[in-house]
Amino acid sequence: DLVDRVLAPVAVDDIEPTREAPERPTPTAGPDPACPEDPTGPFQLATGKVIFLEAQAPDVLVEIARKEKERARGLMYRKSMGENRGMIFVFQQRTQHSFWMHNTCIPLDMLFIDSDGTIVGIEENTPTLNDSSFDVGCPSTYVLELNAGWARRHGVRAGQKVRLEGI
């Protein structure tokens, strides 16, 4: 019967060679293998929560980068970040902010958020260890960094609202 044939064990020697699978690009979700070591060691930041009001997205627990030194360091040297985790950068002025990925080893989505909680733009899947400038061309008060692909997987788009708790 068909089930027996499909599930029957097969010796490796019995398998005929096939042509090689096409080379695929390296997945972008993992850390960059060239990630430099952290010269100063980890530091603790306050935490808060971002709640997505108009997307079927889980709440995100975020580290809060409020001080200049914290914002300058950001997620540099990190080799991983939990699935529903992120970092939110809090600015005193609503202006056009740009970010780079200098010494940042994990690819990220960057959500630029206005003071009323509106996502004004998203930079998706920013490349690691990159000194190019990333921005959305609109003023914002907050920038939320998440693992690359998170926004798309959860249907998060520009124009939607978030609520910030403890931030």
Output the pLDDT for position 30.
62
- Structural domain boundaries in the chain: 46-165
Which residue from 93, 153, 167, 159 is spatially nearest to 122, judged by alpha carbons? 159
Half-sphere exposure for 37 (CA within 13 Å, toward CB): 2
Output the pLDDT for position 43.
79
Mean pLDDT, rounded, for 63-89: 95
Residue tagged 């693992």 (tokens): 147
What's the pLDDT band for 98 if we cut at 50, 70, 90?
Answer: very high
CATH 2.60.120.1140 for domain 46-165, yes or no, is yes
Question: Does the pTM of the predicted model rise above 0.75?
Answer: yes
